[in-house]
Structure 1
Amino acid sequence: MKLSSPRRTTTLKTGWSFSQVTSEYSKDVEETWHPCPIPTSVHVELKKLGIIPDPYKDLNEWKVQWIQEADWVFKTSFHVGEDQLASQHLDIIFDGLDTYCTIKLNGQIVGEVDNMFMSHRIDVKEVIQAKDNHLELHFKSPWHEARKAEEANGGSKFLWNGASNRLYSRKAQYGWGWDWGPVMMTVGPWKDIHLEAYDARLEDVRVDTTLSGAGYDHATLEAHFSTSGKAELKLDLELQDISGKVIRSVQSHPAEDVLNWNLGQEVKGWYPIGYGDQNLYQLKIELKDAKGTPLDVVTRRVAFRSAQLIQEPLEGQEGTSFVFEINGIRIFCGGSNWIPADSFLTEVEPLRYRKWIDLMVRGNQNMLRVWGGGIYESEELYDACDEAGILVWQDFMFGCGLVKAEQAVKRLRDHPSVVIFAGNNEDYALAESIDVMDYNDNSGDYMKSKFPARQIYEIILPEVVKRFSHIEYRRSSPYGGKTSSDQTVGDIHQWNVWHGTQEPWSNWDKLAGRFVSEFGMQGYPDLRTVNEWSDDKSQLFPQSRVSVNHNKADGFERRLELYLMENFRHSFDMPGYVYYTQIMQAECLGAAYRLWRRNFKGRGKEYTSGALVWQLNDCWPCVSWGIADYYLRPKPAFFTIARELRPFTVGLTRKEVKKLRDKETSAFFEISEKLEIWACNSSLEPVEVIVRLETFNLSTSHRDQLTFNARLDANASTEIWSGDLPGQPIRHDEASSPHPIVVQARLYLKAKPDIVEARYSSWPEPYKYLDFPDPVLKLSSHDGEVRISCEKPVKGLVLDVDGDEVEWSDQALDLFPDDEQVVHAKGLKGRTVNYRFVGDGSA
């Protein structure tokens, strides 16, 4: 009688080689086999070999387009031992194949796949040999395969971004080119490949946890198990904390039975960053046969939290809220959108994911939206979010097949950070734009409608998510009320700054929605990144072919200049252009977070509950909407956003009010300037604060001061004061210019009256009308600290050094007399600090 043996997994990493091969589109190819590791992709290996130039430099993107139109084969040989052959099951597991691949083992086709997002398990017991085995992966051209599918389905369709045939391929959509990314259609085994021998295994483990009670301190755990094999199987289970201490355990639990543990207060809850600790546990599950022989062991990360999306009527405004409530706490979600971190996914090291999430933490962000045109991301990204307390909004990757959706939900449901699935990115908005969306059709059968994808988004995906998880599902992002742009219901993508009507950023308050899941403004990356574009320094100016190729947004020249010309006197040399586009982006995005966070006014008054900037990151060195560039170098906008997402903030807005003498005239009137002050408190307790308001006339150096005492409500914004701007006279004609008065507000906790908790300076806009006086700026640095003071206000101070970059604690600073600011500089190493500010004479 054969004894049971444990599951054994061998990762097939060695002995691989690849070559281009003849296809119907590439005739008479001379095969040249090159050794390679896997996971990998063709572009990466050809670059290593020196066969192609670096696709990220110069115009080289266009020199490598032939790769996507060729066929490629990866092959290896591997040995199988007698003990493996004796197992009841032998499977090869492909974690990810990109994308159209025929799989041959020992000359026999064992599988054909066409979905990059899926893993594939293939039973090879009858094909495997008791000697060397030959595995061959034939990847067909993604361009041609998608083109053939397009032709078979009636031709091209209207779309935003990329080539139309991308719609017919279950491949990362951004590889077809986007308005921030190059055309790089990768090919190859992009995830690991394993050989697995087993007699029985744990096929699936679903763990559902709850946290309930008045104080959200009562925990339960329910687990369901799916196993292979018909024999009697038992489970030994342990719930452990992060140190390995056993919280609860059970032996010989029947594998077919549900596990129910009422844990009460034996475990602690998981909270978003800023609201509590990120307590994580693991459930260790060991599968045994009836005699107690170990067969398989898996672990699942476990956390306990309650997550709800609250959509309820609001006080004084139409529509409903759209606010995430975690363990009874309603959260203002200030964060970013995530695109793939590289055009070549296999080049993203695990630590790089961690660094991105660490950057979010530095930026006081608490939510990341994984955008629907990329991939279901690496476990490293989700693990890092779990550990840091970053909430995750997860899009499905556009149109999704049923099996793919099931795999995605099963893989991501154990992450406490994942709080919502959305069916797609902007598909409803596009359907509205081409008039194929009929909101009056609620039949539930949409396959014969003009928008058949509704069957996926409204019927298939919600059923899958509900069947396999307890995570909230939304049919799209954006999606709301009367249309996908309804500002009173659901989430919106607010692109009427930059795209659309190209509003000034001072109108962000009018452009608010209940939850703004996309918005943005472009800015150049760090000058060091710009210098990576080309070794030909003559190309390093804003209008060069190389620079233009590194900005993929249609009409970007017109739009950048629209916002620059409206607001700044700017220079056109590369350092100056980098600086002014960055400051423009910083001013624009800081204003959005400041004005929208003001709308989070407490329970029942969550008029805006989230702002997720487009975008956090880049997939290559470029000009984009990213707030940090490809090399994780934060732009000034990163810091202005970080200041607006601190636990305590103070905000100012100023508006001109024109009052006609009477209804008979247009020539006689008064123009006054009104100022409003508010503050935000994300802590869960009300606090007493002092707000000191100071004004400075740039022409006369006259200063005024006001002080306010206020009580800030918990987890809400609080209005503090409104009135006439001190020092601004009433004007009686449009020919009279307002006085150039800068206003600074500083917020102090009454319990700590000597520490500035928050500050904000409001300047007359547009800045192009201002004559900036010499600020008499003073900088001193010692032991990684830079102390900065001035005699007259400074706008948009950016610090830098020659040589290797420094990690700055703050940038894009506004400074005011008698208010010294300190910036921490990691890696300064005694070097001289350079700086630039608006109107410093460099323009």
Structure 2
Amino acid sequence: MSTAPLQSQLLSSGWTFKQGNRSSDSEYLPANNVPTEVHLDLFSNGKISDPFKDLNELSSRWIAEESWTYRTSFKLANQNGNPSATTALVLEGLDTFASVYLNGTRILQSDNMFIEHRVDISDAVKQADTTEEFVLEIEFESARQKGLELVEEHSEHRFIVHQTEVSRGPVRKTQYHWGWDWGPLLLGCGPWKPIRLETFSKRIEDLWVEYKFNPDLTQVTGEIFAKVDGSGKITAELSSTRDGQVVLRCTDFQQASGHPAGTLRTTFSLEHPDLWWPRGYGLPSLYKLSATLTSAESPESAVHQVSKVVGFRKVELIQEPDSDGTSFYFRVNNVDIFSGGSCWIPADSFLSRLTDADYHSWIQKAAEGNQAMVRVWGGGIYESDAFYNTADELGVLIWQDFAFACANYPTYKSFLESVEVEARQNVRRLRNHPSLIIWAGNNEDYQIVERYGLEYNYTEDKDPQSWLKTNFPARYIYEYLLPKIVEEETKGVPYHPSSPFGNGTSTVLVPDSTVGDCHQWNLWHGTMEPYQRLPSMGGRFVSEFGMEAYPHLDTLEKCITNEEDRYPGSMAMDFRNKAIGHERRLVSYVAENFRLRYDLPGFTHLTQVMQADALTWAYKSWRRDWGAPGRRKNGGILVWQLNDCWHTMSWAVVDYLKTPKPGYYAIKRELRPVTVNVQRKTRDWTVRPADKLWHRDTSHIDMRNIWGEVEFDCWVASSKTRILKGEVAVRYISVKSGKEVLEGSVHEIEIAANGTTDVIKGKKVATLDGKDPKTPFQPSSADPFVIHVTLTIDGEHVGSDISWPDPIKYLSFPERGVKVSYLEDGKKAHVTAQKPVKGFVFSEKEGMILSDNGFDVVPGETKEVSLAGDGDLTDLKWRYVEISLADRH
């Protein structure tokens, strides 16, 4: 008898759902196709209003308190007439406490959203008539109520959680569903991933490769593994995705010693492989690894075929002593990599409606923004395959947190068992993505240790079993279980206990600038430092920091539907911004730097320009600290955050509708492969008039230092791996008149490879008429100016930068002489000005992709903006700081 190939049947349609358990008398309603979630199904049936609009989130909170049941029916032929065939029900993800019934018999209980289940239902199929209809039911308990029960049941543990209530602590469900300081509380349930039936006699359960390089990376050797359910012969091929050429063909698979039965392996060697490189450092070359399983009965016919894309790269996390402490940066293929990028949260509160195209669009957005790394935050999920596939294709590095965030997690037996299955499944699923270059144990859980004084002796206590007996037992998860799993299941990927973590030292409450990665939240949170102080607030790797801003008006109008609510500070607007104290913090940062406008268009614009300014200060300053080999003071910068999970005001630089804020473009400019920067020494105007800023004592700051006496630096940062020759031009341009007030300079420079090069350091210039400190200072006698620098390489304009006399609010902006010329039927615009312009912003709309936005303009310079996709630039309003008229065209 020939062996039939594996057959797969999606159970996506025909689902219904109801409130309550299977025995409740509630009416079944039609559900969306699976994958789906209860909020979406209730909305589709008109039972709730859109939770993303206005205050509707509040009216759907009751859903979290209820249990829900999903049901469908299906027919299945009797295993193709093969009595030895296996039929499995595969449930890729159930959210979260789920009991699964087939024809009234419970066949599965699940308590972990992140686990895939395979249930053998062969016996039920064999006993059924070929025309019999099977009934599949899934009961979902309330995650909140179940969490509260578990907290009470495990009174031996001290449950502490930040951001949300304690019920999330013992529940293996994505943590942001409990709400966060950027997202709504929409605690739902449902079959959030696909469900399918598989019928097979033999199958390839898993396929992966382990490898290593010779010292100069000209040869890669390793092993190809195939985990087979059943017996048969494996043939594997490795081919280039670039041209399809087969570079390896392997047939000699043997049982892998030290592995479970059915794990086969063969060795390989590949000369001069095409390496996978991070974006900006080379091509992200990929190979397709294919495996075919045949049986002795049908040696010419494939029983099962699987394939996956792999890439060959060498990854190292460099933590070595240096003059600044201990380094923290990545080295890929023996090249030091500056990891500029962003942090990622789930892209929707309702995960089941995200598509592969959504993920591709998001990662492409990061790549087009010159971002080399995206960090998957621990309060979210292990993302879709499409997310990592796109990162592989585009060369975007992925920092992956395990799914723990901001809590003191328990370690009772069933919890640890569930976590181990979760971790092993997801490490195995993701292990051959070349983009994934680090696993981190959690997000900010060591902050709980510091803040609450939990037991933690990093230096002396190295016994994992003893950690389980402390009031911080999760150390066992982060410093024993997870690193053990990473080491056993994947090769060549570093593990880091937490983000942040500094080798057992404090890096959260008081960020440590000498070791490990840090989260710098004394911007916005904490001491709310002025962002002009960011140059001295960096670290070895800043894996979180950020500044809030409003999204564009087009996005706000889609979620705030009542015109009377469309003003800053309305109940609907304040409710939507989940950040604690945002009313004070956001207004404070805007008012500290700009003349405050509190109409919605004006305030929106100012928040966006302010965010872009803050991010510019951070990225240009900390990238400068990339330095040179052996002096990598800063190894990376990841803004919190790239994206949103709903329409809101937050730290995101791209909003829920994928519309970038000006901050996105600020990062894009600062992470260009080669960029020039200028930065003046700041004078702290934020102290109060009673302090010495306003006094005549020359040992302290004088207002003349803000207006007319300037000390500044200029440098070039490059990620190119070769030395370049360039020319930097420096101009000093009056804010008042637009004329050059000092003689400029031109500097021929040699730009260091993969590092930073100082062009000017500590230069002092002035435009004051009276420089004698005894001379009374009058702002009207000063001529405040911007410093504008441009970089040219081989006659080509590479980039420019500008330094303003902060704070902007002290400056006057009479008519700027701004001109916007439209070309190519509105697909391109040229922006010029007769006087320096601060924060020119096109008010973008959903679906319109601009090449640049949120920039400054100086006389003699033309800013070009092009539009991709649908739309017309002439349809967009624009404004700049202190514009003399309202919205312009």
Listed one character per residue, the Cα deviations across residues 267-288 of structure 1 (whole Å, up to 9, x for unaligned) are 3111011111111111111122
Q: Are 2:767 and 1:761 equivalent residues in the alignment?
A: no
Correspondent of 1:480 among 481, 502, 522 = 502
Matching residue of 1:183:
185
Distance 1:806 1:79, change over 3 A: closer
Distance 1:798 1:656, change over 3 A: closer
CA distance in 2, matches of 1:823, 1:88: 61
CA distance in 2, matches of 1:472, 1:223: 21
470-479 or 256-265, larger mean C-alpha shift: 256-265
Quick check: 2:441–2:499 contact (8 Å CA) kept in 1? yes
Matching residue of 1:688:
725
Q: Are 2:35 and 1:61 equivalent residues in the alignment?
A: no
SS in 2 for 1:558: helix
CA distance in 2, matches of 1:28, 1:7: 38
637-646 or 705-714, larger mean C-alpha shift: 705-714
Quick check: 2:21–2:139 contact (8 Å CA) kept in 1? no
Quick check: 1:235–1:255 contact (8 Å CA) kept in 2? no
Matching residue of 2:611:
585
Note the C-alpha offset of 1:228.
2.4
Correspondent of 1:417 among 435, 439, 454 = 435
CA distance in 2, matches of 1:569, 1:152: 55
Q: Are 2:834 and 1:785 equivalent residues in the alignment?
A: no
Matching residue of 1:448:
469
Note the C-alpha offset of 1:87.
3.7
Structural mapping, 1:388-427, within 5 Å: 388-398=394-404, 401-427=419-445
Structural mapping, 1:97-496, within 5 Å: 97-128=94-125, 129-130=128-129, 131-154=132-155, 157-214=159-216, 216-229=217-230, 231=231, 233-242=232-241, 243-251=243-251, 253-254=253-254, 256=256, 257-265=264-272, 267-291=273-297, 292=299, 294-314=302-322, 316-317=323-324, 319-398=325-404, 401-438=419-456, 439-444=458-463, 445-470=466-491, 471-481=493-503, 482-484=505-507, 485-496=511-522
Matching residue of 1:674:
711
Structural mapping, 1:540-689, within 5 Å: 540-655=566-681, 666=697, 673-689=710-726
Distance 1:667 1:528, change over 3 A: closer
Q: Are 2:814 and 1:773 equivalent residues in the alignment?
A: yes
CA distance in 2, matches of 1:702, 1:385: 46
Query: 1:191 is aligned with what amino acid?
Result: K
Matching residue of 1:798:
841
SS in 2 for 1:756: strand
Q: Are 2:834 and 1:811 equivalent residues in the alignment?
A: no
SS in 1 for 2:122: coil
Listed one character per residue, the Cα deviations across residues 299-357 of structure 1 (whole Å, up to 9, x for unaligned) are 1212111111111122x32x111111111111111101000000000111210111111
Matching residue of 1:661:
none
CA distance in 1, matches of 2:201, 2:441: 38
Note the C-alpha offset of 1:804.
7.0
Equivalent pairs: percent with the same residue? 37
CA distance in 2, matches of 1:54, 1:598: 46
SS in 1 for 2:251: strand
Query: 1:263 is aligned with what amino acid?
Result: L
Matching residue of 1:703:
741
CA distance in 1, matches of 2:332, 2:270: 19
Quick check: 1:657–1:674 contact (8 Å CA) kept in 2? no
Query: 1:251 is aligned with what amino acid?
Result: T
Listed one character per residue, the Cα deviations across residues 489-531 of structure 1 (whole Å, up to 9, x for unaligned) are 1100110100011111111111110000000000001101110
Note the C-alpha offset of 1:94.
0.5
Matching residue of 1:6:
5
Matching residue of 1:720:
759
Query: 2:675 is aligned with what amino acid?
Result: T
722-731 or 345-354, larger mean C-alpha shift: 722-731
CA distance in 2, matches of 1:142, 1:101: 10
Quick check: 1:235–1:254 contact (8 Å CA) kept in 2? no
Distance 1:32 1:830, change over 3 A: closer
Q: Are 2:107 and 1:86 equivalent residues in the alignment?
A: no
Query: 2:641 is aligned with what amino acid?
Result: Q
CA distance in 2, matches of 1:830, 1:116: 44
Note the C-alpha offset of 1:638.
0.4
Distance 1:731 1:616, change over 3 A: farther
Quick check: 1:395–1:421 contact (8 Å CA) kept in 2? yes
Distance 1:32 1:714, change over 3 A: same
Matching residue of 1:17:
16
Note the C-alpha offset of 1:702.
4.4
Matching residue of 1:41:
37
SS in 1 for 2:427: helix
RMSD value, Cα: 2.1
Quick check: 1:684–1:715 contact (8 Å CA) kept in 2? yes
Correspondent of 2:549 among 513, 523, 544 = 523
Unaligned segments of structure 2, at least 5 residues = 257-263, 410-415, 685-695
CA distance in 1, matches of 2:613, 2:292: 55
Listed one character per residue, the Cα deviations across residues 190-249 of structure 1 (whole Å, up to 9, x for unaligned) are 1111111222222232311334442x33222412232223x4x32111112224332211
Query: 2:609 is aligned with what amino acid?
Result: I
Note the C-alpha offset of 1:377.
0.4
CA distance in 1, matches of 2:859, 2:382: 49
Note the C-alpha offset of 1:252.
5.7
SS in 2 for 1:308: strand
Note the C-alpha offset of 1:65.
1.0
CA distance in 1, matches of 2:644, 2:204: 38
Distance 1:253 1:158, change over 3 A: closer
SS in 2 for 1:62: helix
SS in 2 for 1:523: coil
515-524 or 541-550, larger mean C-alpha shift: 541-550
Note the C-alpha offset of 1:668.
7.3
Query: 2:713 is aligned with what amino acid?
Result: E
Query: 2:45 is aligned with what amino acid?
Result: L
Unaligned segments of structure 1, at least 5 residues = 659-664
Distance 1:537 1:656, change over 3 A: closer
Matching residue of 1:662:
none
330-339 or 203-212, larger mean C-alpha shift: 203-212
SS in 1 for 2:247: strand
Note the C-alpha offset of 1:842.
5.5
CA distance in 2, matches of 1:269, 1:724: 44
CA distance in 2, matches of 1:279, 1:586: 34
Distance 1:106 1:828, change over 3 A: closer
398-407 or 551-560, larger mean C-alpha shift: 398-407
CA distance in 2, matches of 1:609, 1:189: 40
Quick check: 2:828–2:873 contact (8 Å CA) kept in 1? no
SS in 2 for 1:463: helix
SS in 1 for 2:536: coil
CA distance in 1, matches of 2:25, 2:66: 10
CA distance in 2, matches of 1:569, 1:87: 77
CA distance in 2, matches of 1:699, 1:643: 26
Note the C-alpha offset of 1:728.
3.4
TM-score computed with the length of structure 2 as normaliser:
0.89
Distance 1:585 1:289, change over 3 A: same
CA distance in 2, matches of 1:833, 1:545: 28
SS in 2 for 1:126: helix
Distance 1:88 1:301, change over 3 A: same
Matching residue of 2:787:
743
SS in 1 for 2:41: helix
CA distance in 2, matches of 1:668, 1:107: 84
